[in-house]
Every structure is written in structure tokens, then in C-alpha cells.
Amino acid sequence: MSDDVSMIRSSSLMGIGTVISRITGFIRNLLLVAALGTGVLGDAYNVANTTPNILYNLLIGGALSAVFVPQIVKSLRDADGGSAYVSRLVSLITTALVFITVVALVLAPLFISIYAPTFAGRSRDVTIAFALYCLPQILFYGLFGILGQVANAKEKFGPMMWAPIANNLLVIALLSYFLSVVDEISLQTITDSQVQILGIGTTLGIVLQALILIPTISKSGLKLRFRTDWRGVGLDKAIRLASWAFLFVLISQLGFLATVNLATRAGIAAESAGINYGVGYTPYANAYLILLLPHSIVTISIVTATLPRLSTFVLDKKLDEVRGLLGSALRYIGIVTVPASLFFLFFGGKVAESLFFGIPDESALYIGRVLSAMALGLIPLSINLVLIRGLNAFDNTKYQVVSNVVINVVAVGLSLVAYFSLDSADVTYGLSLAFTVSYWLGIIATYFLTKRYTGALEIGKITRFYFKVGAAALIAVACVAFVADRLDLSGNVLSLLGVLIATSLIYVFMARAMKISEVGQTIKVLLRR
């Protein structure tokens, strides 16, 4: 089996899992809104349930996402097949997670004060109560992360992508039961037992998500046991790399905080000026969430599938194969991200109108315009992730921090320019354009940093490929946009689906006519599954 075919099959399996996970997650959110509403009670639950995820990603999640895979791949060549090294690594991380979880539980009121400073009295008490049941999720997020990376290192990709579905289904069952036995509740009427049911039930979903990976690890041949002999066995390198990953996440969080701050300030100013449609951070966040769909389904699946093989090639000093695999990954993400970005650019308004049908048209269209403004940022966002994983394969996390500094400095700088130079109603557009420009400039820095290890990639060839894919996609979206404007299709999910299918069919036809073999190869492999 060729590397390309293997990558397509592995990534498609993960991509399907991601799609189903997103669908079940959407159903879960609908039930959550039905149970708790969109007011303060819903906010109390969401703040409490989001806090462990934020803390986990900040403190250890960045390292688990990719840093440890190359280390685990190396250990698989040990005489025991990596069992001792992986046991020590899992034991060390689990111990750290237990400590972090205990500290988080003790400091729960402080975290709620940070993330919900305006909450007081009953709202604060209910949020803290939810948090005490939700914060143990930190431990199980971590177990899911490290066990998932062990599975990925063994090239067992499916379970990590499908496990969140089990989590969603459990919480869907919980919320369905809750709605069937509980009358309408509010912040003032919710009981301690109801808080307990929702809090513990949500956490059990994360527990299930983590534990479902254990059979996969057992079948992989690794024999894991708790070990405390952590010194002098190579874990210091993994920890050092993890510290750079922490810095990477911290910089991203600071950049994100700046965006949130400027967007919310603009939203308040717009409201004071009498603008009553959605302006500020909410449209930015919703547009970004839509933008991430193809990124999550395709790019993350492909880079997850390629990292173990990249790490193996690096170990064997096969730089030609490293460059070849990175080039293949860039081409295969391009056949999806390029047309997706042009689709969002042309049909951002229609996408938002169709998906956010429950809000005023003006607000939906505003989200759509924000989506169009950040649409072309999808391409460099995905390219950057591939190159970053290339650095991960060489055990270099320092350079990815440098790259992230460049991206966030540019983004924050341009965001400040947008905030001080644009009308409050237009600031969110400016923030979206800042995001797009920052990643286009960022991939230049990331490429030259990666080049120090891999040698020169076939940039000219890859660039020509992207222009070729872009031409096929541009013809497709332009043709459909021409027809759609004249038919005046209403903003609903069915019409959006029709536009998407029509665009996809024309794109595939044009890709085949222009001899873009990667498109045909992908379709052929998927049809054979």
C-alpha cells in the first residue's frame, strides 16, 4: 500500500468520526439549550464545563497533542516494544494530572471568579457547584490525550476519533432523561440533586471517552503498569519538549484573549451607537467555528495520520521520504481547504443564514460577512499545522513557538490597527482580516524554520498545485454563485446543501479535466472502503 493510499484511508476514517462527533455534539447542544436555556443558568453550566477543558489545554493538552508521539515511536524500537518507557510516561502524566485536578478543585471559586467575574450570589454558587463536579474531567481529558497518542503512535487512529461520539451519546441520553423527568427549571429553582445529575453525568461522558481507549492499548501489545522510576530513562527530554508546547499554547491563549477583548469592546461601542444586530465577539466566534469544520475533518485527520510515519522516517534519517510525505500531506489538504475557503468567501452569507436560522437576518448576514473575511485564512492555517507537525517529528518544539509568536504578534498588531481605525460595526471584519493576514505571513516563517531540518520542499511545485486547485474551485463556485443569485435561493439548510453538492460536482469535474490526480485518487480510495 502506497503512503498516499494509507494516508487517505487513515485520515478518511478519522474524518468520518469527526463528522459524526460534530453531529452528535450539535444534538447534545440542542438538548442542553432545551434543558437549561440560554440565560444565566445555561451560562453557569457552560462556564463550569468549559473551565476544565481550558485548564487542561493550557497546562498539558498542548504537549499531549503531538509532542509525545515521536518519543513513543522511538520507544517502540526498544527491546520490550516500548512497554517500560510508555508505562513511565503514562504514570508520570497521570500523577501530574491527579495533582492538577486536586489543586483545581481547591481553587474552583478562584477560577470561576476569573472566567465569570460578573457572577455573584446565586449564579456564582450554582457555577461553583457545577465546577466541583466538572473539574475532575481534567484527569480524564489527560488520560484520553496520552492514551490516544499511544494509539496514534501504533497507527491505531480510529478509536481516538470515535471515542468522543460515545461521550456525546452518553450525555445525549442523560439530557433526554433529564428533560423527560424535570419540569422547566431556572437559576433560582434548580436543586442540588439536579446540579449533581448534570455535573456528574457530563463528567462520566469524559470518563467513558478515556476508558474506551484501554482495550485498544491492550491489543497493541504494550504492557502498561504504574511505575515511579522516572529519572534517567529519557523522560527529561519529553518534559523539556512539553515545556515549549506549554509556551506555544500560552502565546495562543494571549493572542485569543486580545481578540476577545477588542471584539467585546467593539460590540459594546456598537450597541451604544444604536446598532442592534450581532456585532462583537459572538459573530467572530461563530464564523471561526464554521471555518474550523473542514480544518478539523480533513487537516487534523491527515496530520494525525502522518505524524507517526514522519517520526519513523526521521529516526531512519530518510529526509527524502520526510519531504515527500510533507508534500503529499500539503497537496491532499489543499484539495479540500482551497475549495472550502473559496466556498466560504463566495457563500459566507448563505452558510450563516442557513445554519443560524433562529436569529435575525441582519445578525446572520453579519456572521456570514465575517466568515467571508476570514475564509482565505483557512488555507495557511492548515498549511501551518502540517509544517508544525514536521517540526514535531524532529523533536523541535522551540521553532513552533517562534512561528506562533510571529503569527500572534502580526494578528494582535493588525487587530489593534483595525480597532482604532474602523467604525465599531466594522471592527469584527478587521479582526477576521487580521487573522487571515497573520497566518499567510506566519507560514513563511514556519516554512523557513522547518526547512532547517527537512531541507527545501518543492515549494514551486506545491504552489503551482494550489493555483491549479484554486482555478478548478474558482470556476465551480463562480458558476454556482451565478446561478444561485438568479434563482434567489432562500437561506435554509436544504438550499445550502444543494449549493454545496452542485459546487462539489463541478469542482470534481474541473479537477479531473485539469488532471489533478489527487482528487481522483481520493475518490477512488474512498469508494473502495
Mean pLDDT (the chain) is 83
Residue-wise pLDDT for 390-420, tens only, equals 888 887 778 888 998 999 999 999 999 998 9
- What is the reported pLDDT for 461? 92
Residue 476 CB contacts under 8 Å (≥ 6 apart), including other chains: 339, 503, 504, 506, 507, 510
Could you tell me which residue, 459 or 84, shows the higher pLDDT?
Answer: 459
Nearest to 410 by CA among 386, 375, 445, 378: 445
* Cell 436544504 found at: 494
Is a pLDDT exceeding 90 seen at residue 474? yes
Q: Could you give the residue ranges of the DSSP H alpha helices within 295-397?
A: 300-315, 319-355, 361-374, 378-393
- Rounded to the nearest angstrom, the gap between the alpha carbon of residue 163 and the centroid of all alpha carbons in its chain is 16
Cell of 201: 453525568
- Name the region of 497 (left: φ>0; alpha: ψ -120 to 50; beta: rest): alpha
Is a pLDDT exceeding 60 seen at residue 529? no
Alpha-carbon gap, residue 60 to 242, rounded angstroms: 8
Residue 509 CB contacts under 8 Å (≥ 6 apart), including other chains: none
Contact 371, 435 (CB under 8 A): no
Alpha-carbon gap, residue 259 to 71, rounded angstroms: 35
Could you tell me which residue, 268 or 210, shows the higher pLDDT?
Answer: 210
Reported confidence tier of residue 35, pLDDT bands at 50, 70, 90: confident
Cell of 240: 523539556
Reported confidence tier of residue 91, pLDDT bands at 50, 70, 90: confident
- What is the reported pLDDT for 2? 59
Segment 411-416 long-range contacts (CB within 8 Å, at least 24 positions apart): 411/255, 411/258, 411/259, 411/435, 411/437, 411/438, 412/255, 412/258, 412/259, 414/438, 415/258, 415/259, 415/262, 416/262
Is a pLDDT exceeding 60 seen at residue 293? yes
Q: Could you tell me the CA-to-CA distances from 501 to 140, 159, 175, 490, 508 in Å, in that order? A: 39, 30, 34, 16, 11
Alpha-carbon gap, residue 282 to 428, rounded angstroms: 10
Q: Could you tell me the CA-to-CA distances from 46 to 110, 263, 410 in Å, in that order? A: 16, 20, 31
Residue-wise pLDDT for 132-171, tens only, equals 999 999 999 988 888 887 887 777 777 777 788 999 999 9
Residue 167 CB contacts under 8 Å (≥ 6 apart), including other chains: 205, 206, 208, 209
- Name the region of 463 (left: φ>0; alpha: ψ -120 to 50; beta: rest): alpha
- What is the reported pLDDT for 65? 59
Alpha-carbon gap, residue 259 to 267, rounded angstroms: 12
| Least confident among 244-248, 376-380, 462-466, 468-472 | 244-248
Q: Is 153 helix (H, G, I), strand (E, B) or coil?
A: helix
- Rounded to the nearest angstrom, the gap between the alpha carbon of residue 19 and the centroid of all alpha carbons in its chain is 13
Segment holding 498, helix H or strand E: helix 493-513
Residue-wise pLDDT for 246-268, tens only, equals 777 778 878 877 887 787 777 77
Burial 279-318, CB ≥16 within 10 A → b, else e: bbbbbbebbbebbeebbbbbbbbbbbbbbbbbbbbbeeee
Q: State residue 17 phi and psi, 5-degree precision.
A: -60, -40
Contact 333, 382 (CB under 8 A): yes
DSSP state of 195: H
Longest dimension (CA), the chain: 71
Is a pLDDT exceeding 60 seen at residue 233? no
Contact 353, 337 (CB under 8 A): no
Cell of 207: 470518563
Cell of 9: 484511508
Is a pLDDT exceeding 70 seen at residue 241? no
User: Rounded to 5 degrees, what angle do the CA atoms 112, 116, 121 make?
Assistant: 80
Residue 377 CB contacts under 8 Å (≥ 6 apart), including other chains: 291, 341, 432, 435, 436, 439, 440
Task: Summarize the confidence of residues 343-349 as an average pLDDT.
Answer: 92
Alpha-carbon gap, residue 117 to 127, rounded angstroms: 11
Alpha-carbon gap, residue 346 to 477, rounded angstroms: 7
Q: Is 276 helix (H, G, I), strand (E, B) or coil?
A: coil
For 47-107, give the DSSP string. HHHHHHHHHHIIIIIHHHTTTHHHHHHHHTTSTTTTHHHHHHHHHHHHHHHHHHHHHHHHT
Reported confidence tier of residue 362, pLDDT bands at 50, 70, 90: confident
Residue-wise pLDDT for 312-336, tens only, equals 888 888 888 889 889 988 998 999 9
